């Protein structure tokens, strides 16, 4: 289980084209993205995708009004990376700037644009850790034949579309069943969170119970430039706690990796404490 050490890498933007539709036929001048490197650059890697270890080529279809403002964003074909796909659309909608399409008379038109973006996590410590705030919950339902029958994913409390393959992860389910010593259907809930504050409180336990398998928290003091100084790693409770300690990756303090700076409401970077959490729980099958 990969819990920490996932760094932001380069965002390589491919050639963008108008979305195929009748609107292209009446457009004399196509829509053009403006200063795309300012809103899809290395420091814009979606935090949720960093924490989930997601990378790949995401193709979004953007609706743009006559002023050049993006108004809607959808995924052309899902690559099975919900945090990366949602984060790409969030970036385009919040930061995207376009020169609108125009007709033969020079009048601005509403249009759509197909934009491919390739996200890649670096192989070694070139990037930075996310400071959040961000959370993701994956609930994987497994039947008695060790087949994933359902995958539910929440990102920042909102449900996103997901397929069973997105919940599979690494390893065989039959090995997991043996490790858990269970028979029949079961569910595994994985929770991830990144928070920052002067002193962020522990992430509260879920209210629906279950068998706690592992709880991992790392707290870091981060300065205004994103450099960590004081690290506290805590693995508490859970049946896998002692075993997980043997496999924990190095903290950013030990590895020299930095964080994205925490920015206050005034837009100025500041020192803060960052909390990263992973929790794994065995749940009974859905009734």
Structural tokens at position 198: 């002067």
Integer Cα distance of 202 and 214 in angstroms: 15
Are the C-beta atoms of 216 and 208 separated by less than 8 Å?
no
The pLDDT value recorded for residue 21 is 46
The pLDDT value recorded for residue 64 is 94
The conformation of residue 29, written as its DSSP 8-state character, comes to B
Q: List, for residues 106-144, the tens digit of each pLDDT value.
A: 899 999 999 999 998 765 445 667 787 888 888 889 998
The pLDDT value recorded for residue 4 is 31
Integer Cα distance of 131 and 193 in angstroms: 10
The pLDDT value recorded for residue 8 is 40
Are the C-beta atoms of 217 and 191 separated by less than 8 Å?
no
Structural tokens at position 102: 């125009």
Q: List, for residues 4-35, the tens digit of each pLDDT value.
A: 333 344 444 444 455 544 455 566 688 899 98
The conformation of residue 24, written as its DSSP 8-state character, comes to G
Rg of the chain over all Cα atoms, to the nearest angstrom: 21
Integer Cα distance of 14 and 9 in angstroms: 16
Q: Count CB atoms within 10 A of the CB of residue 93.
A: 16
The pLDDT value recorded for residue 258 is 77
The pLDDT value recorded for residue 54 is 83
CA angle at residue 73 from 138 to 57, to 5 degrees?
65
Structural tokens at position 282: 């065995």
Task: Look at residues 217, 249, 245 and name the one whose alpha carbon lies nearest to residue 233.
Answer: 217
Enclosing H/E stretch for 231: strand 228-235
The pLDDT value recorded for residue 1 is 33
The dihedral built from the CA positions of residue 250, 256, 260 and 263, taken in this order, carries a sign that is: positive
The pLDDT value recorded for residue 45 is 82
pTM here is: 0.64
Alpha helices in 123-208 (DSSP H): 173-180
Residues whose CB is less than 8 angstroms from the CB of residue 265 and which lie 6 or more positions away in sequence, other chains included: none
Residues of the chain with pLDDT below 70 are: 1-28, 42-43, 51, 122-128, 166, 168-172, 200-207, 234-236, 244-253, 255-256
Residues whose CB is less than 8 angstroms from the CB of residue 206 and which lie 6 or more positions away in sequence, other chains included: 189, 191, 279, 281
Integer Cα distance of 218 and 192 in angstroms: 12
Integer Cα distance of 51 and 5 in angstroms: 8
Mean residue pLDDT across the chain: 78
């Amino acid at each position: 289980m990969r819990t920490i050490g996932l760094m932001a890498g380069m965002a390589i933007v491919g050639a963008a084209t108008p979305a195929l539709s009748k609107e292209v036929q009446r457009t004399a001048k196509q829509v053009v993205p403006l200063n795309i490197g300012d809103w899809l650059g290395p420091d814009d890697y979606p935090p949720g995708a960093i924490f989930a270890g997601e990378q790949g080529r995401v193709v979004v279809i953007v609706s743009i009004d006559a002023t050049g403002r993006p108004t809607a964003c959808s995924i052309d074909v899902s690559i099975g990376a919900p945090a990366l796909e949602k984060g790409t659309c969030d970036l385009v909608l919040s930061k995207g700037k376009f020169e609108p399409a125009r007709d033969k008379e020079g009048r601005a038109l509403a249009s759509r644009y197909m934009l491919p973006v390739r996200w890649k996590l670096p192989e070694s410590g070139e990037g930075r850790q996310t400071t959040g705030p961000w959370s993701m919950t994956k609930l994987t339902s497994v039947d008695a034949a060790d087949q994933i029958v359902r995958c539910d994913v929440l990102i920042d409390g909102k449900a996103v579309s997901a397929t069973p393959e997105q919940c599979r992860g690494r390893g065989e389910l039959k090995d997991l069943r043996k490790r858990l010593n269970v028979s029949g259907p079961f569910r595994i809930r994985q929770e991830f969170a990144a928070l920052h504050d002067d002193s962020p409180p522990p992430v509260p336990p879920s209210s629906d119970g279950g068998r706690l398998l592992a709880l991992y928290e790392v707290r870091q003091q981060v300065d205004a430039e994103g450099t960590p100084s004081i690290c506290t790693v805590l693995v508490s409770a859970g049946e896998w706690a002692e075993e997980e300690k043997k496999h924990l990756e190095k903290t950013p303090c030990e590895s020299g990796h930095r964080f994205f700076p925490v920015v206050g409401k005034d837009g100025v970077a500041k020192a803060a404490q960052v909390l990263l959490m992973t929790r794994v729980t065995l749940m009974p099958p859905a009734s």
